[in-house]
Amino acid sequence: MNKTFNYCRRATVSVPVGNIPLGSEWPVRVQSMTNTPTDDIAASAAQCQRIAFAGADYVRLTAQGVKQAQSIGEMTQVLRAQDCDIPVIADIHFNPNAALAAAAVCEGVRINPGNFVDPARTFKQLDYTDEEYQAELGRIREALLPFIAVCREHHTAVRLGVNHGSLSDRIMSRYGNTAAGMVESVMEFLRVFVQEGFMDVVISMKASNVVVMVEAVRRLVDAMDREDMHFPLHLGVTEAGFGEDGRIKSAVGIGALMAEGLGDTIRVSLSEEPELEIPVARKLVDYIASRKGHETIEGEFAEGYDPLCPVRRETVTVDDRIGGNRPPVVIASYRPDELDQAEIQPDFYYSADGLIDGMHQFLVPLDRWSGERNVYPLLTLGEWDRCSSAKQRFLQLPATTPVHRLEFLKGRSDTILVITPVGVNIPGEQQALTHALDRAGIKCPVIIRNTYIDSSKEWLQVKAGADMGAVLLNCRADGIWLEAPNSHSNVDVVNYAFAILQAARQRMSKTEFISCPGCGRTMFDLQTTVKSVQQATAHLSHLKIGVMGCIVNGPGEMADADYGYVGAAAGRISLYKGKECVEMNIPEEQAIDRLIELIKKHGDWREP
């Protein structure tokens, strides 16, 4: 059974985390992380209570040092006295002593292979002989043995959490800042745990770039399978951002992997209060799980397809606009009283009643088509022979259409296929048909058309992001058509479609903000700052801008950004151009103006 087309949870070992185990025999667990100072025990306990009340299975707190690890232990006692038994996990960077202290008082400890033994990365190229590299691996083993012993003694679970932004210079020098480097970073650690017979381990591979995150998780599973390892996975898109963009970006990345049966616990990282992450994560878990037991979707991959790192499906280009190497298009159903208000206009409108304005590209049903310029017929398979005069046409097909009925499309360069779902596993069906097309030698571009009846914006963002994101990340579509007839605003629906394309890195239409969710390390009011930076720079659609609360992951995760705004100390900000820190310790009240000056200095500023 092809797991890209059919939903089935990956089999893993079971890992106890306090009183709530995780793994494939258990439901997918949901978690969040506090953003209060860890030493503020009362505030942290209160926030943990809110996170637990929102429905989280686990809660995580940062521990910069031994003192904070001890504070987590004290805070946990406060929670237990308040009859809150949510398992508590400590988050460690750079400090093995803090990890040892936390392992004695917490149900779980997260360590980062990028900085648990290796020093903070400096983005310098290092050269090792094979013997020197093996010596480094021995150093890792010696550092891990005391930690494993404490975890074993206290029945403490471990998460090996790799971040794309915090790979060590040692790993980057040999593997580059790549998904393959992320995999090797964690496998070095994982082999030590296996050799020591300690199996209460969960693994995460996170990045702010959804494409990198998805590739890293897939490559990790492949690497573990080859070494007969079956550890559970924690999924998340780090620094996903704020509002609808953060929700959609998380749904695209996490949803694509969950659709393949991967993931045993998830976190939706938003630059908002942490308890607001839980309903989003629950929706995503419930939506993907609703596919369980669906009717089997038959199919196999097209020849040459690489499921670990897909490349875009080869198609003809129709009218120099759709298919080939053109950016994916957006189609929207037409509501003339709304859509002209949209800041981002779709490439095509669909008008069911044939009402057009002459200013846009339109699709209309065959019985409303009269050959006008820039108006194209949308046909069913049964209508094909009635439309021989159209120079460009859209052919709508159910995803279950047998490919032998489409043999007449071989060699055609005037037809765009619009694939609509039939069953509950929407991306599985749509991808199966595109592979069948490829195997049959049919190179028509494909638009995926999904309709959701939800009136809830959050449900719509989650469902559409997960379904369309899976198809786009596997490079199987040349455009998307999102419909939500019960939505309060079709302008929002169009914006969601463009946000999905941007999250999948298929088409950039607005400024991309890479912002962390905040934690006890954050040096400023994150939510207010993110909004202020957005207000100042939201018109710079050609740029990616990072807003990071501290330097732990900030510079690394912003390696993908053009500019960065990073908390350096209380009330102080450092500014980055790419990976380079160009201004340090600016007073916070001056930082946004200085960011604008920096953008202007490098010629990237455009007036609103």
| 214-259 per-position pLDDT tens digit | 999 999 999 999 999 999 999 999 876 778 999 999 999 999 999 9
Q: How far apart are CA 371 and CA 393, in angstroms?
A: 11
The answer for 441, left when phi > 0, alpha when psi is -120 to 50, beta otherwise, is left
Per DSSP bridges, beta strands 322-323 and 446-451 are: unpaired
Average pLDDT over residues 205-209: 91
Q: Give residue 520's pLDDT.
A: 63
Q: Give residue 110's pLDDT.
A: 97
Domains of the chain by start residue, with CATH: 29-199+208-229 (3.20.20.20), 317-503 (3.20.20.60), 512-601 (3.30.413.10)
**DSSP H or E segment with residue 265:** strand 265-266
User: For 21-40, what is each residue's pLDDT tens digit?
Assistant: 999 999 999 999 999 999 99
DSSP per-residue string spanning 468-491: HHHHHHTT--SEEEEE-TT-S-HH
Q: Specify whether the CB–CB gap between 530 and 547 falls below 8 A.
A: yes
Name which of 281-295, 331-345, 358-372, 573-587 the model is least confident about: 331-345
Structure tokens given for 439:
């195997």
Q: Give residue 380's pLDDT.
A: 96
Q: Specify whether the CB–CB gap between 509 and 502 falls below 8 A.
A: yes
Name which of 8-12, 410-414, 553-557 the model is least confident about: 553-557
Q: Give residue 442's pLDDT.
A: 98
pLDDT confidence band for 263 (50 / 70 / 90): very high
Name which of 70-74, 92-96, 196-200, 431-435 the model is least confident about: 92-96
Average pLDDT over residues 548-558: 65
End-to-end CA distance of the chain: 52
**DSSP H or E segment with residue 29:** strand 29-33
Q: Give residue 134's pLDDT.
A: 87
Question: 549 Cβ partners below 8 Å, 6+ apart?
Answer: 516, 518, 519, 521, 522, 523, 524, 526, 566, 567
Percentage of the chain lying above the pLDDT 70 cut: 95
Look at the alpha carbons of 296, 299, 305, 310 in this order and tell me if their dihedral is positive or negative: negative
Question: Mean pLDDT for the chain?
Answer: 91
Q: How far apart are CA 545 and CA 156, in angstroms?
A: 38
**Residue 275 DSSP symbol:** G
Using the predicted structure, report yes or no on whether residue 473 has a pLDDT greater than 60. yes
Average pLDDT over residues 575-600: 86
Query: Sheet containing 572-577: which strands, arranged edge to edge?
Result: 512-515, 544-548, 563-569, 572-577, 580-587
**DSSP H or E segment with residue 254:** helix 243-258
User: For 118-164, what is each residue's pLDDT tens digit?
Assistant: 765 566 667 788 888 888 889 999 999 999 999 999 999 999 999 88
Structure tokens given for 75:
């805070």
Nearest residue to 538 (alpha-carbon basis) of 560, 563, 571, 512: 512
